[in-house]
Amino acid sequence: MTDKPFAVMVTGGAGYIGSHAVLALADAGWPVVVLDNLVTGFRWAVDPRATLVEGDVGDEALVGRAIGEHGIGAIMHFAGSVVVPESVKNPLKYYGNNTANSRALIAAAVAGGVRHFIFSSTAATYGVPDESPVTEATPQVPINPYGMSKLMTEIMLKDVAAAHPLNYCALRYFNVAGADPQGRSGQSTAGATHLIKVANEAATGKRGHVAIFGTDYATPDGTGVRDYIHVTDLAAAHLLALDALIADPAASHVYNCGYGRGFSVLEVLDAVERASGVTIERRMEPRRAGDPDALIAANDAIVRAFGWRPAHDDLDTIVAHALAWERHLGRRNAG
């Protein structure tokens, strides 16, 4: 039994961030329907309290049926492709999976009378910002198709919300990391490129070294600085967004999600060494194309609007949770 007015559809609920949103929703008593094509997500990552609909967000007929059958009143849209260099090589994949599929999903939402839409946007929509910290008013000038494909969806939502009875919240994520503190989910994708994941793979013997991409950035130690946010705090922001969208159906929102301070690559590697007790082999390599020196979120807006209070705003905690998950994955794959 639930006291909730409707069910929430979570696209990409078998993936990294989506699976954590499912945990947060189910923990809060929301009925949840996961829509996932399981291309990069995992069936086992779907919380048993959720109903899994296997399929594509671009399949408007399927989404329409699921909305009707399950009484969906809100959609959290995580599904999409997320690898920046791949988006440069294969832009049509990103404009298909991210932009065109989002269009189909939004169309099904409007046709099905869904009133609330929460969208996973990204700091990549800012490109290489010329101010730090980055506010929501910082110009959005993406420098790759990934960022552009997400920005286009933000624009669609703005226009659709003005024309139809649907409000939305776009959350621009900075560097998402960590894992469920209770060990129920985490970053499981093979071939990951994200720093904390890569460093934990090195700490658990899954790779031999960590490459440091650039040591001549305009940062205190010369390596890239990022604002790492715990995935569970990010999931909590989505629940607050849902409450806000329900409370005021006339208002839509766009907020950065980060903690407002950055850590360098070297600081992250130090944290992984502290957590694991393993010395990580570090190899200095050239800069990766398109990497900004520093990317730090101004988060006053979401704190003020939603009363968002991060519970895991601590690099050592983020790294420890990610490491615990990495070890769990190791045991899982060995077993």
8 by DSSP, 3-state: which? Answer: strand
Task: Print the binding letters for residues 11-50 with ligand UFG: x by CB under 6 A, - otherwise.
Answer: ----------------------------------------
Smallest Cα–Cα separation from 102: which of 11, 218, 197, 235? Answer: 11
How many CB atoms lie under 10 A from the CB of residue 211? 16
In whole angstroms, the minimum distance from the beta carbon of 296 to ligand UFG comes to: 11
Q: Per the residue annotation, which of 126, 146, 228, 259 is the catalytic one?
A: 146
Treating both helix axes as pointing N-terminal to C-terminal, what angle do 265-276 and 195-203 enclose, rounded to 10 degrees? 30
d(CA 115, CA 208) in angstroms, rounded, equals 49
For ligand UFG, which is the closer residue by CB, 31 or 292?
292
When asked if residue 102 is in the footprint of ligand UFG (CB under 6 A), the reply is no
Please, which of residues 140-159 interact with ligand UFG by CB under 6 A? Answer: 146
Residue type for position 278? V
When asked if residue 79 is in the footprint of ligand UFG (CB under 6 A), the reply is no
d(CA 120, CA 105) in angstroms, rounded, equals 14
Copy the structure tokens of residue 259. 């903690």
Please, which of residues 217-236 interact with ligand UFG by CB under 6 A? Answer: 224, 226
Instruction: Identify the bridge partners of residue 229 per DSSP, sorted by sequence position.
Output: 176
d(CA 201, CA 180) in angstroms, rounded, equals 17
When asked if residue 265 is in the footprint of ligand UFG (CB under 6 A), the reply is yes
Q: Are 13 and 35 in contact (CB under 8 A)?
A: yes
In whole angstroms, the minimum distance from the beta carbon of 109 to ligand UFG comes to: 24
**Stretch binding ligand UFG (CB under 6 A), from 20-28, 37-45, 58-66, 117-125:** 117-125
Please, which of residues 165-224 interact with ligand UFG by CB under 6 A? Answer: 175, 193-195, 198, 210-213, 224
Task: Print the binding letters for residues 267-306 with ligand UFG: x by CB under 6 A, - otherwise.
Answer: ---------------------x--x---x-----------
For ligand UFG, which is the closer residue by CB, 166 or 210?
210
Is 146 annotated in the active site?
Answer: yes
Q: Are 180 and 321 in contact (CB under 8 A)?
A: yes
Instruction: Identify the bridge partners of residue 255 per DSSP, sorted by sequence position.
Output: 171
d(CA 91, CA 314) in angstroms, rounded, equals 35
**Stretch binding ligand UFG (CB under 6 A), from 32-40, 102-110, 119-127, 299-307:** 119-127
Copy the structure tokens of residue 210. 């960590």
Q: Are 278 and 319 in contact (CB under 8 A)?
A: no
In whole angstroms, the minimum distance from the beta carbon of 39 to ligand UFG comes to: 17
Residues that bind ligand UFG (CB under 6 A): 82, 84, 122-124, 146, 175, 193-195, 198, 210-213, 224, 226, 265, 288, 291, 295
Q: Active-site residues: which are they?
A: 146
